[in-house]
Chain A
Amino acid sequence: MKDNAVFTSRVLPWLLLLPSFIILLGFIYYPAIQAWVLSLHRSNLFLGTRQFIGFDNFRLMFTGPLADKYIQVVIQTFVYGALVVGIGLSIAIVLATLASSPIRGARVYRLLLIWPFALSPAVAGTIFLFMFNPDVGSVNEVLGTVFGIRPRWLDTPTLAFALVVIASVWKNLGYNIVFYLAALQNVPKELNEAAAIDGASPIQRFFRITVPMLSPMTFFLLFTNLTFAFFESFGLIDIVTKGGPVGPSPVDAAGITTTMIYQVTIDGFGGSGNTGLAAALGNIILLFTAIITVLQFRYGSRRVQYGAN
């Protein structure tokens, strides 16, 4: 890498780094160590009791009567994440490409597509909770009048799961389109023009030029959307379904919309206050996150576009 180190002060760089470093030590690294320490203890939030029990918390999660619950929660988190990423990014890349094409009013469309960029999971959840409220929600009022059906959106497992996925995809749409639009500014126009002259159809150009050229951005968004599905979706889920409802067999060991982070808060801050168990599950999420981050850094920079520089 290029070396721009022109200043030679011995003290100054450390002074500049010090505030960041204190924060990272005190609020990331120290709690991260504590997470492992806590996960090896039987620890109760309300009683304040702590007793060293080795790996019992981990054993409890993956063997014995509670294993069904935790395995279900892990699997449905990944299914939810895959759906949010797959559906969300596909729609976003298509819409961003269309809104970047040279048509009249493209600027207006771009603005109309990205303005909910700043939407929060909690607000998205609040609006969906009202729209799909089985008793007073407008969706059921319309469905009831037109088709004579009033689906129980929040108590029917498949519907509740679908609703959370749809709300999440919608919530992220503006965000994903913003980043795709920014990346599309960097795709040279000549590539598309040359391909068009050679007789490539718009669909061919989309799959052969746009998608590969946007692959670095897709990897970035893959990562941020997975982070959303793992963590930030908590607000949406907490408001819309509270992690429920319990599914039919074989997914009857936990609420169908309970993700791993939701389970952490149930265990740690719910009625049982079992912070040791919650910390153990937190560490398992941490391992998954670490694996995904490493994959992103390894493959994210490799499948980049060709040419352009």
Chain B
Amino acid sequence: MLHRRAWLLHLILIIASLIVAFPILFALVKATQIRSQVLSPSLIPGTAFVENVRNVFLNANLLTFMRNSLIVAAAVTVGKTTLSLMAGMALVFFRFPFKRVIFGLILLTLMIPVEVLIVPLFDVISLQPPQTWADFSEWIRRPDKMLFEPAQYGYGWANTYWALIVPFLASATGTFLFRQHFMSIPRSLADAARIDGATPFQFLQKVLVPMSWNTIGALAVIEFVYVWNQYLWPKVIIRREELQVVQVGLNLIIGTGEGVEWGYVMAGATLSLVPPLLVFMLLQEQFMRGFALSESK
């Protein structure tokens, strides 16, 4: 039964793999061609790859864009994973009042993607903080004004990395994932640790973290890719080219000059895929296992 159909299966899967890969391979080939070839449908690899890469890296600032993205994505990935792990630990291994309410408040933010808040967040991030103590004390004394009138002050973070990093450090998804994973850890293990006199910190270091690499890996992949691929928020809040991230930077490369240098653009597009692909390849096993695990509950 299976063997008679095997060739059909192979055929479908080969065609599907080609369709999935085609646009990226197309971009890769175009990145190697000289200008006249780029604008023809020719799919023969050319010799200009190094030149295109050098041009897009240095003349079109791709190097700067990629460095910015790397800083932001690494900072968010590490920060978010750490904060989620801490929150997950508090929610599972401690008993304290209002636990359900707090978990609810964290989970509720699943419903509020940052993109939906783009307009107020722009205000809150870009407005300057109060400049004098007098202004500050006047502001803090009027919570009604603070909440029910349009924001008067903000963090003053327009055109900084802070604006791209800090708002993304807390994560409902991450907290949820760690909570699920921690709840699957046998209670006897935590009991044994406590009876042996382990402090919560030792428990975290010696038991929880070593048992959580799959969840940590899965989360790290998701967060890195999510931040690396962000477009709308950096486009709105970062107005200085030397601080811009790679996704918006690509659009800037398209937009420079009269005729678009499509060879450079394709080189840039291809190169921008490398870091998330590396992270994914590196953590693929953990990623698959981390998800298989949390889905089975």
- Residues of A at under 8 Å CB distance from B? 1-10, 12-14, 16-17, 19-21, 23-24, 26-35, 37-38, 41, 43, 50, 95, 98-99, 101-105, 109, 112-113, 115-124, 126-131, 136, 138, 141-142, 145, 170, 173-174, 178-179, 181-183, 185-186, 196, 202, 216-217, 220, 227, 230-232, 234-235, 238-239, 261, 264-265, 268-269, 275, 278-279, 282, 285-286, 289-290, 293
B232 touches A113 (CB 8 A): no
Known: A99-B13, A118-B225, A275-B119. A128 touches B169 (CB 8 A): no
Q: Is the interface of A mostly helix, strand, loop or mixed?
A: helix
Which residues of B have CB within 8 Å of A269?
122, 236
When distances are taken between beta carbons in the complex, the residues of chain A under 8 Å from B292 are: 182-183, 185-186
Give the docked Cα–Cα distance between A65 and B28 (Å): 48
Given contacts A98-B12, A109-B13, A126-B265, contact A268 B92 (CB under 8 A): no
Report yes or no: A123 in contact with B272, Cβ–Cβ below 8 A. Answer: yes
Task: Decide: A20 and B175 in contact? CB cutoff 8 A.
Answer: yes
The smallest C-beta distance from B107 to any residue of chain A, in angstroms, reads: 9
Q: Which partner residue on chain A sits nearest B291 by CB separation? A: A182
| Shortest beta-carbon distance from B238 to chain A in Å | 13
Inter-chain contacts of B78 with A (CB < 8 A): none
CB distance from A130 to the nearest CB of B (A): 5
Known: A1-B183, A20-B86, A27-B167. 9 other contacts (CB 8 A): A7-B94, A9-B200, A16-B90, A20-B175, A98-B16, A103-B2, A116-B20, A128-B23, A181-B288
B49 at interface, CB cutoff 8 A: no
Chain B residues, Cβ within 8 Å of A10 = 96
Chain B, interface size category, equals: 35 or more
Partner pick for A127 among B9, B23, B93, B276, CB 8 A cutoff: B23
Q: Which residues of A contact B147 (CB under 8 A)?
A: 33, 37
Closest 9 CB pairs of A and B: A235-B231, A118-B276, A120-B229, A34-B120, A23-B170, A16-B90, A13-B94, A27-B167, A5-B95
Are B21's CB and A103's CB within 8 A? Answer: no
- Asked if A118 and B13 sit within 8 Å, CB to CB, the answer is no
> Are B94's CB and A102's CB within 8 A?
no
Centre residue among A33, A102, A128 by max chain B CB count within 10 A: A33
Q: Is the interface of B mostly helix, strand, loop or mixed?
A: helix
Residues of B close to A231: CB separation below 8 A: 113, 115-116, 232
Using known A-B contacts A123-B269, A136-B39, A141-B41, determine if residue A24 contacts B123 with beta carbons closer than 8 Å. no
The reply to whether the CB of B62 lies closer than 8 angstroms to some CB of chain A is no
Contact of A122 among B86, B90, B229 (CB under 8 A): B229
A64 to chain B, nearest CB (A): 22
How long is the Cα–Cα vector from A257 to B191 in the complex, in angstroms?
57
Q: Is B56 an interface residue (CB 8 A)?
A: no
- CB of B266 closer than 8 Å to a CB of A: yes
Cα(A8)–Cα(B190), bound, Å: 12
Contact between chains at B20 and A113 (CB < 8 Å): yes
B149 beta carbon closer than 8 Å to chain A: yes
A130 to B182, CA, bound (A): 47
Once A123-B250, A127-B24 are accepted as A-B contacts, the answer to whether A9 and B94 lie under 8 Å apart by CB is yes
Q: How far apart sit A21 and B98, CA to CA, in the bound complex (Å)?
A: 14
B84 at interface by CB-CB < 8 Å: yes
Cβ-neighbour of A279 out of B95, B119, B231, B280 (below 8 A): B119
Tell me the complex Cα distance, A234–B113, Å.
Answer: 14
Given the known interface contacts A113-B17, A234-B231, the answer about A265 and B183 at a Cβ–Cβ threshold of 8 Å is: no
Given known A37-B148, A103-B9, contact A265–B94 (CB-CB < 8 A): no
Tell whether, in the assembled complex, residue B151 and residue A34 are in contact, meaning their CB atoms are under 8 Å apart.
yes
- CB under 8 Å from chain A, chain B span 259-297: 262, 265-266, 269, 272-273, 276-277, 279-280, 288, 291-292, 295-296
Contact pick for B266, options A16, A32, A130, CB 8 Å? A130
Q: How far apart sit A261 and B111, CA to CA, in the bound complex (Å)?
A: 15
Q: Does B50 contact A (CB under 8 A)?
A: no
Partner of A4, one of B114, B183, B279: B183
Chain B residue at minimum C-beta to C-beta distance from A292: B111
Q: Do A278 and B86 contact each other (CB < 8 Å), given the known contacts A103-B10, A123-B269, A202-B5?
A: no
Is the Cβ of B16 less than 8 Å from the Cβ of A13?
no
Residues in A neighbouring B106, C-beta threshold 8 A: 20, 24
A27 and B21 within 8 A (CB): no
Contact flag A35-B119 (CB < 8 Å), given A101-B9, A130-B30, A186-B295: yes
Residues of chain B within 8 A of A123, CB atoms compared? 247, 250, 269, 272-273
